[in-house]
Amino acid sequence: MPWEPIKLNSGYYMPSIAFGTWKTGNGQGPIDQVKQALGNGYNHIDTAQAYKNEEETGVALKETELSRSDVFVTTKYSGTNGLDIPTSIKNSLSNLGLLDVDLYLVHAPRLAVPDIPTCWAQMEKVQDDGLAKSIGISNFGVKDMETLVASARIKPAVNQILLHPYVYERQKPILEYAAKNGIIIEAYSALIPITKSPGGPLDKPLNEIAAKFGATTEQILMAWTKAKGAVVVTSSSKRTRLQGYIAAGDITLSAEDIAAIDAAGALGEEK
Ligand SMILES: NC(=O)c1ccc[n+]([C@@H]2O[C@H](COP(=O)([O-])OP(=O)(O)OC[C@H]3O[C@@H](n4cnc5c(N)ncnc54)[C@H](O)[C@@H]3O)[C@@H](O)[C@H]2O)c1
Ligand SMILES: OCCc1c[nH]c2ccccc12
């Protein structure tokens, strides 16, 4: 299998590519998009309280042929409507029509109220109560993680962060801290160098490496992210793109390819 499942510090396995549901409201809508992803090789769905599509995600999960145990479901505490963590997880499970989620994340450190240790103790209770098999964080920096780990009984399984070559140097301390502490990094917006910041120093090496592999530049960015040990959370309403991302799991970049992407990434910051 190209995108191998990754073992979390909770003992559970997480599929290393996920379909993200943020902004799936347009066009087909979230139900059809999630069903399309589940029908095209994705068995990991990423949603959040803030995305306001947990109910539609739940419908898609019911309508798919895959059974509950075949799909890894992540949702997040986003502080929506000022609700606390115990209330939010119960609402999310009710919206999704599930008894538990595979992963529950604190969407951002600013949502950890009144402070990170108190918030994390509530997350630990969510796992103790069997409402989430694993718990984690999103958008946490090194200082945030240090504060959390200092008081934690259960370390976060995952930190979902922005990661692509233009921010790699800036994010590297997060990756290093996570690796030392057994926390898996999940990368969102891996395609920004193509979708939002084309015309920069990455264009040349990405195009050259893509031509060498007979691949698209999107696939090379996915392979780079995978090579950094990160799980990828991506999205598209287009079936062919979704299939392309899955196929990118077969691409193994050489050390020289990775070094060329790192070097070009370090030359240009995200625009
Ligand atoms: N935790 C967080 O704060 C956070 C933040 C952002 C995203 N996310 C999660 O990550 C998921 C994916 O985020 P993303 O959409 O930024 O990821 P991404 O960088 O993988 O981009 C995917 C988007 O790029 C488009 N795309 C692909 N190839 C393209 C091309 N050649 N030209 C133009 N557009 C192209 C796709 O159609 C899709 O809309 C979200 O749905 C969400 O679940 C989480
Ligand atoms: O996850 C995508 C970014 C995002 C959308 N709504 C949010 C609420 C809290 C933190 C992050 C987000």
Residues 6+ apart with CB under 8 A from 101: 73, 74, 75, 89, 92, 93, 131, 132, 133
Give the per-residue pLDDT at 270.
57
Which ligand 1 atom is at minimum distance from the Cα of 222?
A: 20
Residues 6+ apart with CB under 8 A from 90: 131
Side-chain-side CA neighbours of residue 85 (13 Å): 25
Residue with CA at minimum distance from ligand 2 atom 6: 50
* Residue 44 is assigned to a ligand binding site: no
Q: What span, in angstroms and rounded, lies between the C-alpha atoms of 241 and 218?
A: 9
Residue 149, class by beta-carbon neighbours within 10 Å (0-12 exposed, 13-18 middle, 19+ buried)?
middle
Q: Is the CB of 213 under 6 A from ligand 1?
A: no
> The tokens of 134 are what?
């694993």
Residue with CA at minimum distance from ligand 1 atom 33: 195
Residue pair 233/20 in contact (Cβ under 8 Å)? The answer is: yes
> The tokens of 103 are what?
């992963």
Q: Is the CB of 192 under 6 A from ligand 1?
A: yes
pLDDT tens, the chain, 271 aa long = 489 999 999 999 999 999 999 999 767 899 999 999 999 999 999 999 999 999 999 999 999 999 999 999 999 999 999 999 999 999 999 999 999 999 999 999 999 999 999 999 999 999 999 999 999 999 999 999 999 999 999 999 999 999 999 999 999 999 999 999 999 999 999 999 999 999 999 999 999 999 999 999 999 999 999 999 999 999 999 999 999 999 999 999 999 999 999 999 999 865 4
Q: Is the CB of 21 under 6 A from ligand 1?
A: yes
114 prior amide bond cis, ω within 30: yes
Outline where 15-106 has alpha helix (H): 30-38, 54-63, 85-96
Q: Which residues pair with 7 in a beta bridge?
A: 13
168 in catalytic set: no
Q: Is the CB of 213 under 6 A from ligand 2?
A: no
* C-alpha 191 to ligand 1 mean position (Å): 7
Nearest ligand, CA 222: 1
Interface TM-score (ipTM) > 0.95: yes
- SS3 readout for 188-232: ECCCHHHHCCCCCCCHHHHHHHHHHHCCCHHHHHHHHHHHCCCEE
pTM > 0.90: yes or no: yes
